[in-house]
Amino acid sequence: MEVYILAAIIGLIPAYIAHNKGRNFFGWWAFGFLLWIVAFPASLIISKDMDTLAKRDGDISKCPHCAEWIKPEARVCKHCGRERKPLWQEA
């Protein structure tokens, strides 16, 4: 019984890491609960899901010219160098 409780608690580690990268917390918790030895390194290796993070946090947006991720307050895109309209002018 104690093994299951410990596995449930340890499963929170990869779930938390993956959630901060825009992944499903419960799915990664289940993965960590069942196969922690695989889930933990996998959660460290996976890349950020920028679409999910943008929807969830709203702290990044896509450049209208090159479609790269930039901060919404940016006046010039750091990738293509083109100027953006102010936020209140973008439709």
Q: Give residue-wise pLDDT tens across range 37-58.
A: 999 999 999 988 877 777 676 6
Position of tokens 């450049």?
A: 63
pLDDT of residue 14: 95
Residue 49 and residue 24 in contact, taking contact as beta carbons nearer than 8 Å? no
Beta strands in the chain (DSSP E): 61-62, 69-70
Same-domain check for residues 43 and 68? no
Residue 82 and residue 76 in contact, taking contact as beta carbons nearer than 8 Å? yes
Same-domain check for residues 15 and 40? yes
Label residue 69 by pLDDT band (50, 70, 90).
Answer: confident
Q: How many structural domains does the chain have?
A: 2
Please state the separation of Cα 43 from the chain's center in Å: 11
> Residue 77 belongs to what domain range?
60-91
In a domain, 17, yes or no: yes
Record the pTM: 0.63
**Residue in 85, 80, 23, 83 with CA at minimum distance from that of residue 49:** 23
Same-domain check for residues 66 and 37? no
